[in-house]
Structure 1
Amino acid sequence: MSEATSRNSWIDSLKGVLIFLVVYGHAIQFTGYDWATDWTNSEFWKDPFFKTVYMFHMPLFMAISGYLSIGSIRRLTFKNVTCRRFKQLMLPLIGWSVLYQVSLTALKGDWSAFPEHLLHELGFGLWFLWAAFLSMVITAALKWGKFDHVFGCIVAILVVLAVPDYEVLANFKYTFPFFVIGYQCAKLGVFSKVKLGLPGWIAIGAASVGCWYLWTERTYIYVSGMALDAGNLTHVLVRYASGLFLGLSFLGVWSVIHRRCLGSMFNSLGRRSLDIYIVQNYAFVALIHFNFPMKNSPWFALTMAPWIALLVCIIAVFAGWVMERIPIFSSLLLGRKGGMQSSNPSGPIAFFAHERGDARVKKRIAALRDRGWQVTGYTFHRVRDKVEAEPDWNNVHLGTTYNRRYIHRLWTLANSILILWRNREQYANSSVLYVVNTDNAVLALVARWLVGVRIPLVLELADIQPVMYSAGWPGKIMRRVEREVLNRSALLVTTSPGFIQHYFLPTQKFAGEIFLLENKVYPSDRLEASHAIGKPISTGKPWVIGCFGAFRCRRSMQLMHALASRLGDRVLFRLRGYASGTITEDFPVLLGNLPNLRFEGPYDYPGDLSEMYGAIDLNWSFDETDPGGNSAWLLPNRIYEGGCFGVPVIAAKSTQTGDWVEERKCGWTFAESLEENLIAFFEQLQIDDWIAMKQHCLTIPRSKFAGETDYDILSAKLKDIAGIRP
């Protein structure tokens, strides 16, 4: 960790513990004691823990604000400093004050005193915001006039203290000197130059103890104010001495113990200190009405107050986290730019997928990595009966799913959000979200919202499920969800022009950019040379038909079984891959025990392709899972795989696959009735006809079936989306 990073982390943790102490003090004040009619006589002033906290926490907070302000004051003009701090501090003050008083007055129904109550809220509700703003403006003015040296700052402090002690100005007069001290410490490099030895720390500790005993109920700023008369001067001096010595003591202690005392938690609170300060102020308006155990007892501060403070901090962090994602709330109520932060262009691709072992997922990730991208996978594991190696990319395992166990899948999905939250820092550093399927896109968008970083989304949809174009209410809901995801996508990737022509344009009315990434073979340069020969594998006796990949089509399996049964030794079907979807459990039954319908197990992609396609005469490319819908629109992997080895295709007419085959004249297509037409085809197929088709298929360049060029184009698009300049 660099020195600057370490210092920032230390300051964040310091701000975090101080804002926790602010909330802790308010927990004692507002929920630990009953308030007297004259609140200056309430019992919480006597609480020793409340007293200890209030002696230093706001002075030290203001000193940190001054310390951190030096960068802006040095870098920006006076006008820019004022405008920026107004947006950061005064807009939230005005926004919350108006929102609170409008809500409160609307509930009461009496608007006659609204202006008076609003002015009071602006002055006292979130007083630290306007006090910090005014301190910043005065200090920036000193810098602009070149009076920000030590003497000039002392004069400014004396002028502020000389202002009449009007009630609303007391807190500002009290804290402004500490802002200036913090500014001067940063300007002069005090913390790097001055090293206190043990005697110095002992002296500061002794002074702190002395201040603690001198502090009385009258010393509180809220009780005695900042009047510099004879009766109040002692209280003012004790107040300043307490802020200085206890603040230094706390700095010394915290610098030693912060790494051992929930430093990461306080770092998080420190980065949200403004959100916590604002929200806790109004949270205690509600909590003051609760009757907590041990109320009106000093034990309350040790038992209940820490837990109440922690709860309020959690609520405040969550509220701020939600509001910063809504631009108008982020701007008006938190003083930040609306919406999310920009993504990191140099970060890795976050690749979301339903199944880490899916051939398409592995192919996409390999192609992106080959083009220089770092890829972090956020993937699920689906239990299947197939060979699967552990991912060779950096992978965050989101959970394991099983076929047809839908309740378990919902639980896995919910748990995946917690996993993403634990990996939020890694996720937030991503340059692009590449997501396969709509459900994963919803998950990725939720995670993007959680981390608050505007990471561009690229959505790949390669299957359109029947529910997506059904007329019922489930289909309408699913299409609506998908449309919302599409509207948030920088690019839609799909694998077939059929999906574009028949679904994305007419049904979803998608007007964004679409990239056609067909299921071509990758990496094709690792394929062996074609084993093509000038005659059929068994001279056409039998004709050897191959079907390789995922088996999810019941009718296709039934067709192969019927053909194998009726044609006998005229055909041999060789199947490799794995069963999927609704036929998984029925797969052995659909295969039957026919000697010419063989399932030969899973295979390695792309290593086994040459052997597989070199041992068949025809490439079975029928898919009737969803006739008229997804099956009619898709282009399967196997037509490109077989094309690399010149294997003729057999497919259904009037489908995207059939049109693809007819356009390239690389096989035969069949109309209904498929079974009878295929029977007739195999009974009439002549070796010379097959050889002529085979020779034509071999003339088609392998590059037409290889994906390298497509992935080059995709990579360039992703760089453009991520904002990476060549």
Structure 2
Amino acid sequence: MPRVLYLVHDLSDPAVRRRLIMLTRGGATVDLAGFARTKIPGDIEGINPVNLGKTADGRFVQRSWAVLKAMARLRSVLAGASKPDVIVARNLETLALANRANRYFGGSVPIVYECLDIHRLLIGMGPVGRSMRLAERWFGRSVTAIVTSSPAFKSNYFDVQSFLKVPVVIVENKVVPPPREGLLPVPQKLEGRPWRIGWFGALRCRKSLKLLARFSRMANGRFEIVLRGRPAYREFSDFDAFVENEPFMRFCGPYRNPEDLGAIYGEVDFAWAADFFEEGLNSKWLLPNRLYEGCLYGAVPIAVQGTETAEALRRNNIGLILSDATPFALSMAMEGLDVQRFKRLKSAIAACDRRNWAIDEADCKDLVAWLAGLAPAGPRKTSDRLPINSSFAI
């Protein structure tokens, strides 16, 4: 049973919990340490994390200072800890900690860099972008392999811009269903209520919020917008007041992932899978959690032409692809929508392999086996093929 030291940027991030579930179900013993942006419970999936300090979303200088302080006390944090077989560092800020931890354990532990978003500061040929990529190369000098979540991250960043030249594997943001969950019955659209578009997860995109609000007003009550998750309040002038003033939009608060996914997606008809937070860059390349969640639980996904998400819908012949990111394009896509057309859209999703959207126990074991198989020391070569069955993975 391999031992994994997992260093994370935000212990409260639901995606961190998802990866912990994968690792533990795959048979790994996990030691967890990281920063926190909100209050965290006493344990995460039965693992008591080491809290390395509080950080704030979007505050680069503050986060850098927190990393420096954590590095200064990392030796005491690791005192008495068992030597891991592999260190997984989530996001750039934890790579510095991974190198320090590796030296503490003798310098022979392989490091995997988990990068599921490409920050805008890393992109571009100007002095800021180049400096950030040089920092990534310096902190990633001992990295054995990179894990990312979209083929477009690999082809548009790691293959052509990043200075890190190590194998890149794709582990998509698929759902890790609760244990013993079967295929849930998918509720049908009820006559007499508005059509519902659900926008769930990390709510950070001002453009999506305004687009959906404007569309719902244009539809004059025929469509309702349901928001759930964690709003990034720093990205909005006043998120709560904005939603409160929208007659056809409501915010229903946070939810448990994965436990609540079946219930919340079962209450909507469509899943908003578009994102413009870093328009033209990360937002164009990503494959968001809500794509997999919506498809797994029968909500019809909506994406915008020219994005990796739209390409995923096209490959699977599902969902709605907007011609551009405007309320009018969304209105055109919904023109003529009736129950029969909606059933055809849902049937196309139902015809897809469930493993396109969900990870099973075999996938978890494959991930852990791949991590365990990384060479323990010296110059290393490792496969860039992770044996996870996926319609998108390369």
- 1:645 offset after TM fit, Å? 1.6
Query: How is 1:294-333 mapped onto 2 (pairs within 5 angstroms)?
Result: none
Pair 1:469 & 2:126 matched: no
Match of 1:368 among 14, 23, 40: 23
User: Could you say which residue in structure 1 is the equivalent of 2:195?
Assistant: 543
1:653 Cα shift? 0.8
Alpha-carbon offset, residue 649 of structure 1: 0.7
From the superposition, tell whether residues 518 and 404 of structure 1 become closer, same or farther in structure 2 (CA, over 3 Å). Answer: closer
Distance 1:462 1:678, change over 3 A: same
**Structure 1 residue 362: deviation in Å?**
0.6
CA–CA separation in structure 2 for the residues paired with 1:368 and 1:442:
22
Offset of 1:389 from its aligned partner? 6.2
Counterpart mapping for 1:369-518 below 5 A: 369-383=24-38, 390-391=43-44, 392-403=46-57, 408-427=62-81, 429-508=83-162, 510-518=164-172
Q: Which residue of 2 aligns with 1:701?
A: 353
Residue identity matched to 1:719: A
Cα deviation, residue 609, structure 1: 0.7
1:632 paired residue among 268, 284, 293: 284
Letter in 1 for 2:143: S
Whole-angstrom CA distance in 2 between matches of 1:695 and 1:567: 25
Residues 352 and 430 of structure 1: is their aligned pair in 2 closer, same or farther, counting only changes over 3 Å? same
Structure 1, unaligned runs of 5 or more: 1-345
Which secondary structure does the structure 1 equivalent of 2:250 belong to?
strand
Is the CA contact (8 Å cut-off) linking 2:12 and 2:38 kept in structure 1?
no
Shift of 1:423: 2.4
Deviation at 1:681, TM superposition (A): 2.6
The aligned amino acid for 1:710 is D
- Look up the SS of the partner of 1:546 in the other structure: strand
Instruction: Give 1:565 shift.
Output: 2.0
* Residues 1:498 and 1:406: Cα distance change in structure 2 (over 3 Å): closer
Normalised to the residue count of structure 2, the TM-score between the two structures is: 0.88
Deviation at 1:555, TM superposition (A): 0.5
CA 1:538/1:636 → structure 2, altered by over 3 Å: closer, same or farther? farther
Counterparts of 1:428 and 1:563, CA distance in 2: 55
- Correspondence for 1:674: 326
Choose from 209, 225, 250 the match for 1:557.
209
Deviation, structure 1 residue 470: 2.3
Match of 2:317 among 648, 657, 665: 665
Paired amino acid for 1:369: T
- For residues 507 and 641 of structure 1, do their structure 2 counterparts lie closer, same or farther at Cα, with a shift above 3 Å needed? same
> Partners in 2 of 1:430 and 1:581 — Cα distance?
37
2:319–2:345 contact (8 Å) kept in structure 1: yes
Task: State how far apart, in whole Å, the 1-side matches of 2:90 and 2:108 are.
Answer: 19
Q: Judging changes above 3 Å, is the alpha-carbon distance between structure 1 residues 527 and 599 closer, same or farther for their aligned structure 2 residues? A: farther
- SS of 1:669's equivalent in the other structure is strand
Q: Does 1:568 align with 2:223?
A: no
Decide which moves more: 645-654 or 582-591.
582-591
2:313 maps to a residue whose letter is V
Question: Which structure has more strand as a fraction of its residues?
Answer: 2
Cα offset, 1:525, TM superposition? 4.4
Q: Which amino acid aligns with 2:169?
A: F
* Distance in 1 separating the partners of 2:375 and 2:316: 37
Q: Distance in 2 between matches of 1:622 and 1:578?
A: 16
How far residue 516 of structure 1 moved from its aligned partner, in angstroms, is 0.8
- What's 2:383 paired with? none
The 8 Å contact of residues 537 and 617 in structure 1, kept in 2 or not, is answered as no
The corresponding residue for 1:604 is: 256
Letter in 2 for 1:685: L
Q: Residue 497 and residue 436 in structure 1: after superposition, are their counterparts in 2 closer, same or farther (change >3 A)?
A: same
Higher helix share: 1
How has the CA–CA distance of structure 1 residues 524 and 428 changed in structure 2, closer, same or farther, with 3 Å as cutoff?
closer
| Cα separation, 2, equivalents of 1:673 and 1:613 | 23
TM-score (norm: length of structure 1): 0.49
Structure 2 CA distance for aligned equivalents of residues 478 and 704 of structure 1: 34
Task: Report the counterpart of residue 368 of structure 2 in structure 1.
Answer: 715
Q: Does 1:652 align with 2:296?
A: no
CA distance in 2 between counterparts of 1:617 and 1:382 reads 32
Amino acid at match of 2:3: P
Deviation at 1:589, TM superposition (A): 3.9
Query: How far has the Cα of 1:510 moved from its partner?
Result: 4.8
Match of 2:9 among 354, 366, 384: 354
Structure with bigger RCO (C-alpha 8 Å, 6+ apart): 2
User: Do 1:520 and 1:641's aligned partners in 2 also have CA atoms closer than 8 Å?
Assistant: yes
Check whether the contact 1:486–1:492 (CA below 8 A) recurs between aligned residues.
no
The question of whether the paired residues in 1 share the 8 Å contact of 2:147 and 2:168 is answered with yes
Tell me by how many angstroms 1:427 deviates.
Answer: 4.9
CA–CA distance in 1 between the matches of 2:61 and 2:145?
Answer: 32
**CA–CA separation in structure 2 for the residues paired with 1:626 and 1:403:** 15
Aligned partners of 1:388, 1:546: CA distance in 2, in Å? Answer: 27
Report if the CA contact (8 A) 1:529-1:610 is conserved: no
Give the whole-Å Cα distance in 1 for the aligned partners of 2:2 and 2:359. Answer: 25
The answer to whether the 8 A contact 1:527-1:610 is kept is no
**C-alpha spacing 1:388/1:397, structure 2 compared with 1 (3 Å):** closer
Counterpart Cα distance in 1 of 2:320 and 2:126: 37
Q: Give the partner amino acid of 2:99.
A: L
Aligned position for 2:387: none
Matches within 5 A, 1:525-544: 525-527=179-181, 529-533=183-187, 535-538=188-191, 541-544=193-196
% identical aligned pairs: 29
Q: Contact between 1:527 and 1:607, CA under 8 Å: does it hold in 2?
A: no
- Rg larger for: 1
SS of 1:453's partner is coil
Decide whether aligned partners of structure 1 residues 477 and 383 sit closer, same or farther in structure 2, where only a CA change above 3 A counts.
same
Q: CA RMSD in A?
A: 2.4
